[in-house]
């Protein structure tokens, strides 16, 4: 018996937005001496009981992934908040909420109306997370709006109303959601789902011979969608025979909920693709904020698992979106590929080089195109509703279920099988227009079997594109990128100029070859020494065939290459303080080959207990330390002030943390000789006594007067100052007992070092 799993991903949220630009800032931020509103403090709740329920529900996987606790409120512009009238008659209304221990807060408005010129922002207490502006573009017939999550426990909602619109706006806050745990698919921004999918996945920008020119167009129609206020799905814009740009959007029937509350995000694409390499993807912020909300149901049918909606918010021309064509015939494709957002991750591509099988068994999962074995990638929950494209780049169905083998076998495709609801069945098998596609996608009843994309995509004679294929090993100081030059033009590409910039220094290189259309060539760029930390590289390809590129949109790429800092040590110490759920913690230390050298499995640690682990290591080695929390809330701070520090034997701190959600990774390099920048302070700077009751003596070399800063395990600044003598004191007498990071930096020389401090 085949066990088939539908591809819905659950994450429990209420989201509705339309072209929210995340631009500008609240009016109050530019005003002096404006008094903050008093916070509405949310009541305590039984978090332990919720966690127990979550453990059961997560194991069953038959309910949405719950990250928050809902408070019901009834706050309006009239009965709550604080109004401030500006000299010109404009008004600001602010409402502040405090929910102790919350990682995030988000809100549901049940009466939402923005007059022209009015704006709404949400932000946290230290202004590090800002959401908005919401404006009149978000108005909808239901007068409902759900927000994204805002990081922090203390959040302000700010409404600005122009004088000429006085009294016209409507806001009623109905729900406040206290986020008590996080997961890759549910954190603050869409990109928090980044790297949630399997390691064998290919970013959609990866070069794949045979479909590269097709997917370059197809990807422009695909969107990540939030449905049912709690689920990730995928779908695509789809053309009709009138070629009029009606914003029809195709997804799966099992994704269906009230589409007026759906949110769509187009163009979430990694510009520096990771192609089943295990290297984490990066996002294309801020360009991925191509988000609209709200749609109207046109047709849906369970038997072929399709839903067609019409997006009710305008799609701007400058977004460069494409409405994919379709083929309603029963002709079996030569091969098929899918573009999707598995697990709510950045856009991926999967490919089956073989023809799919047309299944007509009409069972619970029937009337499908069956993909027996993906050669590249595969599908995961969150891929539901994503389009299956054929060898002509036309839609032939939408993703329904998966079965058989795992999606990934390490970095290789796992041989998973998948089923897509068939487009030809969805076309006219339903008994009414509300159960079939025909009337919507062929409104003039032309009888066409196929359509192509809308708008028609330009064909360029000269079009050279470049992408990164390699950025270098971040465990040494050498930046060694490689690029792929792709000929997207119809004329053979025989020459081009490459401008390669590292940290502001540019080299100009010449390339010569002979690439036919869709062919590519990998070019290794010069190796250069990079500084520890972030290094910016940029590549521009110009003068293809000695002339101007007719499509300059794909000529420039850039990336950040992080060179791991080196530490002189023969041992590394992990000091870890668990929170109230120590059994959820696990960690591992691996070498550069991925071999696990040291590890602790989930269930090994007690609650609120300090553990010390010592790792023996070798000079010249590169290591990765990964720490995880099975519940997804780290070890700080809602359930105890846990934390961890990695340090050398002489207490030089390497990494500290605690509020890491599901997990985080630290890379480090061990070297036998101090670098010039470290030597001056690292060689002679000392801290004693350590541990201490609060007074730490810091010894620095003669001639140095470095600044120092002390951080707690959350990365928050505790104290700072200047070390003016060879022997000076750092006073933590008033700080709570625990582990702290002391960072010492001499501005004149750039020398720096850091220490782990233990306050008893």
Write down the catalytic residue from 129, 135, 305, 390: 305
* In this structure, CATH architecture of domain 567-671: Sandwich (2.60)
Measured at the CA of 159, the angle between CA 153 and CA 163, to 5 degrees, comes to: 160
Dihedral, CA of residue 334, residue 339, residue 343 and residue 345, to nearest 10: 140
Element (H, E) at 678: helix 676-684
Higher-confidence residue of 124 and 726: namely 124
Place of tokens 């509405």: 40
In whole numbers, what is the pLDDT of the chain averaged over residues?
Answer: 84
Element (H, E) at 498: strand 493-502
Q: Is 305 in the active site?
A: yes
Q: Is 254 in the active site?
A: yes
Query: What pLDDT sits at residue 562?
Result: 79
- Which CATH number fits the domain 27-179, given the four candidates 3.40.50.1240, 3.40.50.720, 2.60.120.290, 1.20.1530.20? 2.60.120.290
User: 464-563 with 676-759: one CATH topology?
Assistant: yes
1-15, 168-182, 197-211, 409-423 — which is least confidently predicted?
Answer: 1-15
Cα 336 to Cα 351: distance, rounded to the nearest angstrom: 6
Write down the catalytic residue from 384, 417, 426, 477: 384
Cα 449 to Cα 637: distance, rounded to the nearest angstrom: 59
Nearest CA among 651, 697, 646 for reference residue 668: 646
Q: Does domain 676-759 have CATH number 2.60.40.1930?
A: yes
Query: What pLDDT sits at residue 377?
Result: 92
pLDDT, one tens digit per residue, over 158-192 is: 999 999 999 999 999 998 988 876 533 333 343 44
Q: What is the DSSP letter of 99?
A: -
In this structure, the number of other CB atoms found within 10 A of the CB of residue 67 comes to 26
| Range ranked top by mean pLDDT from 109-123, 441-455, 608-622 | 441-455
Does residue 479 have a cis peptide bond before it, meaning omega lies within 30 degrees of 0? no
Q: Is 477 in the active site?
A: no
Q: Does domain 464-563 have CATH number 3.40.50.300?
A: no
223-227, 604-608, 717-721 — which is least confidently predicted?
Answer: 223-227
Cα 580 to Cα 586: distance, rounded to the nearest angstrom: 14
Query: What pLDDT sits at residue 725?
Result: 75
pLDDT, one tens digit per residue, over 30-60 is: 998 888 899 999 999 998 888 888 777 654 4
Element (H, E) at 308: strand 306-311
Element (H, E) at 58: helix 47-60
Query: What pLDDT sits at residue 11?
Result: 42
Write down the catalytic residue from 254, 289, 340, 341: 254
pLDDT, one tens digit per residue, over 615-631 is: 988 766 788 898 988 77
Contacts for 693 with CB less than 8 Å, ≥ 6 apart: 733, 759, 760
Query: Do the beta carbons of residue 464 and residue 549 sit within 8 Å?
Result: yes
Query: What pLDDT sits at residue 186?
Result: 33
pLDDT, one tens digit per residue, over 468-525 is: 988 876 666 678 889 999 999 999 999 999 999 988 889 999 999 999 998 999 999 9
Domain boundaries, the chain: 27-179, 202-451, 464-563, 567-671, 676-759
Fold topology of 202-451: Thrombin, subunit H (2.40.10)
Element (H, E) at 47: helix 47-60
Q: How confident is the model at residue 272 (pLDDT cuts 50, 70, 90)?
A: confident
Global pTM? 0.70
Query: What pLDDT sits at residue 413?
Result: 82
Query: Do the beta carbons of residue 526 and residue 500 sit within 8 Å?
Result: yes
């Amino acid at each position: 018996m085949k066990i088939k799993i539908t591809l819905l991903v659950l994450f429990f949220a209420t989201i509705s937005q339309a072209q929210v630009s995340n631009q500008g800032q609240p009016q109050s931020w530019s005003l002096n001496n404006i008094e903050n509103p008093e916070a509405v403090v949310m009541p305590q709740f039984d978090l332990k009981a919720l966690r127990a329920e979550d453990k059961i529900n997560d194991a069953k996987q038959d309910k949405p992934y719950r990250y928050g606790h809902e408070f019901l409120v009834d706050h309006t512009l009239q009965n709550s908040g604080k109004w401030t009238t500006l000299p010109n008659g404009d008004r600001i209304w602010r409402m502040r909420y405090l929910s102790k221990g919350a990682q995030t807060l988000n809100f549901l408005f049940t009466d939402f109306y923005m007059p022209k010129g009015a704006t709404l922002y949400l932000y946290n207490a230290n202004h590090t997370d800002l959401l908005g502006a919401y404006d009149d573009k978000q108005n909808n017939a239901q007068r409902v709006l759900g927000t994204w999550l805002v990081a922090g426990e203390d959040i302000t909602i700010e409404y600005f109303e122009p004088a000429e619109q006085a009294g016209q706006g409507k806001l009623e806050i109905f729900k406040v959601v206290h986020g008590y745990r996080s997961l890759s698919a549910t954190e603050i921004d869409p990109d928090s789902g980044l790297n949630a999918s399997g390691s064998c996945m290919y970013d959609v920008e990866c070069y794949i011979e045979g479909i590269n020119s097709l997917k370059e167009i197809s990807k422009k129609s695909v969107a990540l969608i939030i449905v049912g206020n709690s689920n990730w799905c995928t779908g695509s814009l789809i053309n009709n025979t009138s070629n009029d740009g009606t914003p029809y959007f195709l997804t799966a029937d099992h994704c269906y909920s009230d589409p007026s509350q759906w949110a769509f995000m187009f163009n979430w694409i990694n510009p520096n693709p990771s192609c089943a390499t295990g290297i984490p993807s990066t996002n294309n912020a801020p360009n991925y904020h191509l988000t609209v909300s709200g749609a109207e149901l046109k047709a849906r049918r369970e038997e072929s698992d399709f839903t067609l909606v019409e997006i009710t918010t305008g799609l701007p021309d400058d977004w460069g979106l494409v409405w994919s064509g379709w083929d309603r015939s029963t002709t079996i494709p030569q091969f098929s590929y899918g573009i999707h957002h598995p697990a709510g991750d950045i856009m991926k591509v999967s490919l089956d080089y073989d023809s799919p099988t047309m299944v007509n068994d009409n069972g619970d999962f029937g009337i499908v195109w069956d993909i027996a074995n993906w050669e590249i990638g595969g599908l995961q929950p969150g891929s539901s509703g994503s389009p299956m494209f054929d060898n002509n780049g036309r839609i032939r169905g939408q993703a329904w279920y998966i079965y058989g083998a795992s999606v990934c076998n390490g970095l290789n495709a796992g041989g998973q099988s998948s089923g897509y609801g068939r487009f030809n069945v969805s076309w006219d098998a339903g008994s009414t227009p509300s159960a079939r596609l025909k009337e919507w996608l062929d409104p003039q009843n032309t009888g066409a079997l196929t359509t192509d994309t809308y708008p028609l995509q330009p064909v360029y004679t000269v079009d050279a594109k470049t992408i990164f294929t390699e950025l270098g090993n971040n465990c040494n100081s050498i930046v060694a990128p490689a690029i792929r030059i792709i000929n997207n033009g119809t004329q053979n590409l025989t020459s081009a100029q490459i401008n390669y910039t590292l940290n502001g220094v540019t080299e100009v290189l010449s390339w010569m070859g002979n690439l036919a259309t869709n062919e590519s060539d990998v070019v290794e760029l010069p190796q250069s020494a990079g500084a520890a930390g972030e290094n910016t590289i940029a590549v521009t390809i110009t003068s293809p065939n000695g002339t101007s590129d007719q499509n300059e949109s794909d000529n420039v790429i850039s990336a950040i290459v992080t060179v791991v800092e080196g530490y002189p040590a023969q041992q590394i110490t992990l000091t870890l303080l668990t929170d109230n759920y120590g059994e959820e913690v696990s960690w591992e230390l691996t070498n550069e080959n991925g071999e696990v050298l040291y590890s602790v499995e989930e269930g090994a640690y007690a609650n609120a207990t300090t553990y010390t682990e010592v790792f023996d290591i070798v000079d010249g080695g590169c290591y990765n330390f990964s720490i995880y929390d099975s519940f997804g809330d780290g070890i700080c701070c809602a359930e105890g002030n846990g934390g961890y520090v990695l340090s050398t034997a002489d207490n030089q701190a390497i990494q500290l943390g605690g509020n890491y959600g599901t997990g985080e990774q630290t890379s480090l390099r061990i070297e036998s000789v101090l670098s010039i920048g470290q030597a001056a302070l690292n060689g002679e700077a000392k801290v004693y006594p350590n541990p201490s009751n609060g007074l730490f003596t810091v010894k620095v070399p003669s001639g140095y007067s470095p600044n120092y800063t002390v951080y707690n395990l959350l990365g928050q600044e505790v104290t700072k100052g200047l070390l003016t003598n060879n022997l000076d004191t750092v006073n933590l007498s008033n700080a709570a007992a625990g582990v702290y990071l002391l960072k010492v930096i001499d501005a004149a020389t750039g020398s720096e070092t850091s220490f782990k401090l233990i306050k008893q």
